Amino acid sequence: MTGKDSRRLPPFRTRITVGLVPTLALAAAGLWSSPAAADFRLCNNTSSRVGIALGYKDAEGWTTEGWWNVSSRSCETLLRGTLVARYYYIYALDYDRGGEWSGQAFMCSRDKEFTIKGTENCLARGYDRTGFFEVDTGEQRAWTVQLTEANEQPAQRVPGIPGTMGPGGPGGVPGLSNPSGPGLPPAPAPKP
Protein backbone atom coordinates (compact mmCIF):
# COMPACT_ATOMS: atom_id res chain seq x y z
CA MET A 1 0.00 0.00 0.00
CA THR A 2 1.38 3.42 -0.91
CA GLY A 3 1.08 6.61 1.15
CA LYS A 4 -1.50 7.88 -1.30
CA ASP A 5 -3.75 4.85 -0.77
CA SER A 6 -3.64 5.16 3.01
CA ARG A 7 -5.35 8.59 2.87
CA ARG A 8 -8.29 7.49 0.75
CA LEU A 9 -11.62 7.10 2.50
CA PRO A 10 -13.48 3.88 1.98
CA PRO A 11 -16.29 4.32 -0.62
CA PHE A 12 -19.04 3.98 2.01
CA ARG A 13 -17.65 6.76 4.24
CA THR A 14 -17.21 8.99 1.19
CA ARG A 15 -20.90 8.63 0.30
CA ILE A 16 -21.99 9.44 3.87
CA THR A 17 -19.75 12.53 4.02
CA VAL A 18 -20.88 13.77 0.59
CA GLY A 19 -24.52 13.17 1.54
CA LEU A 20 -24.21 15.02 4.87
CA VAL A 21 -22.77 18.24 3.48
CA PRO A 22 -25.96 19.37 1.67
CA THR A 23 -28.11 18.19 4.58
CA LEU A 24 -26.05 20.14 7.12
CA ALA A 25 -26.06 23.23 4.89
CA LEU A 26 -29.87 23.04 4.60
CA ALA A 27 -30.24 22.57 8.36
CA ALA A 28 -27.95 25.53 9.09
CA ALA A 29 -29.90 27.73 6.69
CA GLY A 30 -33.09 26.78 8.53
CA LEU A 31 -31.60 27.85 11.84
CA TRP A 32 -30.76 31.32 10.55
CA SER A 33 -33.99 31.96 8.69
CA SER A 34 -36.98 33.06 10.69
CA PRO A 35 -40.56 33.97 9.86
CA ALA A 36 -41.44 37.60 9.18
CA ALA A 37 -41.53 39.67 12.35
CA ALA A 38 -44.93 40.64 13.70
CA ASP A 39 -44.13 44.04 15.20
CA PHE A 40 -45.55 47.56 15.52
CA ARG A 41 -43.12 49.81 13.62
CA LEU A 42 -42.92 53.48 12.75
CA CYS A 43 -41.03 54.87 9.77
CA ASN A 44 -40.00 58.53 9.78
CA ASN A 45 -40.13 59.56 6.11
CA THR A 46 -39.44 63.21 6.90
CA SER A 47 -36.24 65.24 6.71
CA SER A 48 -36.33 65.81 10.51
CA ARG A 49 -35.59 63.80 13.61
CA VAL A 50 -38.79 62.95 15.47
CA GLY A 51 -39.70 61.88 18.98
CA ILE A 52 -42.40 59.23 19.34
CA ALA A 53 -44.74 58.39 22.23
CA LEU A 54 -47.02 55.35 21.99
CA GLY A 55 -50.23 54.42 23.79
CA TYR A 56 -51.89 51.00 23.82
CA LYS A 57 -54.10 48.70 25.86
CA ASP A 58 -52.90 45.24 26.84
CA ALA A 59 -54.06 42.65 29.38
CA GLU A 60 -52.94 44.94 32.24
CA GLY A 61 -54.76 48.04 30.97
CA TRP A 62 -53.66 51.29 29.30
CA THR A 63 -49.98 52.14 28.96
CA THR A 64 -48.20 55.08 27.36
CA GLU A 65 -44.48 54.96 26.62
CA GLY A 66 -41.94 57.37 25.20
CA TRP A 67 -39.62 58.52 23.83
CA TRP A 68 -38.27 56.80 20.77
CA ASN A 69 -35.96 59.10 18.82
CA VAL A 70 -36.25 58.25 15.15
CA SER A 71 -33.75 59.71 12.69
CA SER A 72 -34.78 61.16 9.36
CA ARG A 73 -35.65 58.53 6.72
CA SER A 74 -35.42 55.59 9.12
CA CYS A 75 -37.70 53.10 10.90
CA GLU A 76 -37.95 51.93 14.49
CA THR A 77 -39.72 48.95 16.05
CA LEU A 78 -41.86 50.30 18.90
CA LEU A 79 -43.35 46.98 20.06
CA ARG A 80 -41.97 43.53 19.28
CA GLY A 81 -44.15 40.49 18.67
CA THR A 82 -47.68 39.88 17.48
CA LEU A 83 -49.96 42.84 18.15
CA VAL A 84 -52.35 42.36 21.08
CA ALA A 85 -54.75 45.21 20.31
CA ARG A 86 -56.55 46.68 17.34
CA TYR A 87 -56.04 50.34 18.26
CA TYR A 88 -52.72 52.01 19.01
CA TYR A 89 -52.13 55.71 19.65
CA ILE A 90 -49.20 57.88 18.60
CA TYR A 91 -47.94 61.34 19.43
CA ALA A 92 -44.91 62.60 17.52
CA LEU A 93 -42.74 65.73 17.84
CA ASP A 94 -40.59 67.21 15.08
CA TYR A 95 -37.33 67.98 16.88
CA ASP A 96 -35.70 69.90 14.02
CA ARG A 97 -38.46 72.16 12.64
CA GLY A 98 -41.00 72.17 15.46
CA GLY A 99 -44.56 70.95 15.20
CA GLU A 100 -46.27 67.71 16.08
CA TRP A 101 -48.52 64.89 14.93
CA SER A 102 -51.36 64.73 17.45
CA GLY A 103 -55.02 63.84 17.81
CA GLN A 104 -58.02 63.80 20.10
CA ALA A 105 -57.26 60.68 22.17
CA PHE A 106 -55.88 62.13 25.40
CA MET A 107 -53.32 60.14 27.36
CA CYS A 108 -50.56 60.80 29.87
CA SER A 109 -47.00 61.67 28.87
CA ARG A 110 -44.02 63.64 30.15
CA ASP A 111 -40.93 65.36 28.75
CA LYS A 112 -38.43 62.69 29.84
CA GLU A 113 -38.42 58.96 29.11
CA PHE A 114 -41.57 57.35 30.55
CA THR A 115 -43.81 54.34 30.96
CA ILE A 116 -47.12 55.38 32.46
CA LYS A 117 -49.94 53.01 33.46
CA GLY A 118 -53.46 54.39 33.05
CA THR A 119 -54.87 57.36 31.14
CA GLU A 120 -56.90 59.00 33.91
CA ASN A 121 -56.04 62.11 35.95
CA CYS A 122 -52.80 62.82 34.09
CA LEU A 123 -52.33 66.32 35.51
CA ALA A 124 -53.21 65.31 39.08
CA ARG A 125 -50.64 62.51 38.86
CA GLY A 126 -47.92 64.94 37.72
CA TYR A 127 -47.97 64.10 34.00
CA ASP A 128 -48.89 66.05 30.88
CA ARG A 129 -52.23 65.41 29.15
CA THR A 130 -51.36 64.85 25.49
CA GLY A 131 -53.54 64.31 22.40
CA PHE A 132 -52.52 61.14 20.52
CA PHE A 133 -53.81 60.12 17.08
CA GLU A 134 -55.43 56.75 16.61
CA VAL A 135 -54.07 53.96 14.44
CA ASP A 136 -56.58 51.24 13.59
CA THR A 137 -54.59 48.11 12.72
CA GLY A 138 -57.68 46.17 11.69
CA GLU A 139 -56.46 43.40 14.01
CA GLN A 140 -53.45 42.63 11.81
CA ARG A 141 -50.49 40.73 13.32
CA ALA A 142 -48.03 43.48 12.32
CA TRP A 143 -48.34 47.16 11.43
CA THR A 144 -46.11 49.97 10.18
CA VAL A 145 -47.00 53.66 10.48
CA GLN A 146 -45.38 56.07 7.99
CA LEU A 147 -44.85 59.68 9.10
CA THR A 148 -44.64 61.99 6.08
CA GLU A 149 -44.32 65.71 5.46
CA ALA A 150 -47.30 67.77 4.30
CA ASN A 151 -45.94 68.34 0.79
CA GLU A 152 -45.54 64.59 0.14
CA GLN A 153 -48.23 62.34 -1.25
CA PRO A 154 -49.73 60.06 1.41
CA ALA A 155 -48.34 56.55 1.27
CA GLN A 156 -50.63 54.02 -0.33
CA ARG A 157 -51.59 50.67 1.15
CA VAL A 158 -49.23 48.12 -0.31
CA PRO A 159 -50.63 44.61 -0.76
CA GLY A 160 -48.72 42.17 1.41
CA ILE A 161 -47.43 44.89 3.75
CA PRO A 162 -50.06 45.38 6.44
CA GLY A 163 -50.38 48.73 8.06
CA THR A 164 -48.63 50.96 5.56
CA MET A 165 -50.31 54.34 5.62
CA GLY A 166 -49.63 58.00 5.42
CA PRO A 167 -51.44 60.99 6.83
CA GLY A 168 -54.44 62.21 4.89
CA GLY A 169 -53.45 65.70 3.87
CA PRO A 170 -52.54 69.11 5.23
CA GLY A 171 -53.07 69.40 8.95
CA GLY A 172 -53.32 72.02 11.61
CA VAL A 173 -49.55 72.21 12.10
CA PRO A 174 -47.72 74.15 9.38
CA GLY A 175 -45.29 72.00 7.45
CA LEU A 176 -46.62 68.73 8.84
CA SER A 177 -49.33 66.43 7.62
CA ASN A 178 -52.48 65.60 9.49
CA PRO A 179 -52.62 62.00 10.71
CA SER A 180 -56.34 62.38 11.32
CA GLY A 181 -57.21 62.37 7.63
CA PRO A 182 -58.94 59.56 5.73
CA GLY A 183 -58.33 56.22 7.36
CA LEU A 184 -57.49 57.74 10.75
CA PRO A 185 -60.58 59.32 12.31
CA PRO A 186 -59.94 61.35 15.45
CA ALA A 187 -60.98 59.56 18.61
CA PRO A 188 -62.48 61.47 21.54
CA ALA A 189 -60.97 58.92 23.94
CA PRO A 190 -58.97 55.72 23.60
CA LYS A 191 -61.09 52.75 22.61
CA PRO A 192 -61.19 49.61 24.73
Per residue of the chain (192 residues), give pLDDT as tens. Answer: 444 444 444 444 434 334 433 333 333 333 333 445 689 999 999 999 999 999 999 889 999 999 999 999 999 999 999 898 999 999 999 999 999 999 999 999 999 999 999 999 999 999 999 999 999 999 888 999 999 886 544 443 333 333 333 333 323 332 333 333 323 333 344 555
Ranges of each domain in the chain: 3-32, 37-192
Q: What angle do CA 188, 114, 48 make, to 5 degrees?
A: 80
Q: What count of other Cβ atoms lies within 10 Å of the Cβ of residue 52?
A: 21
Calculate the alpha carbon distances from 84 to 92, 156, 174, 185, 186 in Å.
Answer: 22, 24, 34, 21, 21
pTM above 0.75, yes or no: no
